[in-house]
């Protein structure tokens, strides 16, 4: 499965990307996380539905220093194009 999520709120400058990368790696997910120029955080993750659901709960909570207002999500089939979970450049 593939999860594409956009997290809105106070989510930049608070360690959100590192938080996501660490949990995604622990959940054996592949893909990436990045800041956006709009001030959001964007996540594209692939793995089992159960692991992605756990990641989604973590995205909704965020690290302690963040304040998540909304998480937009889109589900699709995995492409298998990723081999690890990385922090990407802002887009």
Residues forming the active site: 17, 35
User: Between 49-61 and 16-26, two packed helices, what is the crossing angle to 10 degrees?
Assistant: 160
Which residue in this structure is represented by tokens 């990641």?
55
Which residue in this structure is represented by tokens 């608070």?
14
What is the distance between the alpha carbons of residues 76 and 19, in angstroms, rounded to a whole number? 23
Burial class (CB in 10 A: 0-12, 13-18, 19+), 13: exposed
């Amino acid at each position: 499965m593939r999860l594409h999520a956009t997290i809105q709120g106070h989510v930049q400058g608070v360690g959100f990307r590192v938080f996501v990368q660490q949990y995604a790696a622990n959940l054996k997910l592949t893909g990436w996380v990045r800041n956006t120029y709009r001030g959001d955080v964007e996540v594209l993750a692939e793995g089992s539905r159960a692991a992605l659901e756990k990641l989604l709960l973590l995205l909704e909570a965020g690290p302690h220093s963040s304040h998540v207002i909304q998480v937009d999500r889109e589900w699709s089939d995995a492409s298998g194009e990723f081999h690890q979970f990385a922090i990407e450049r802002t887009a």
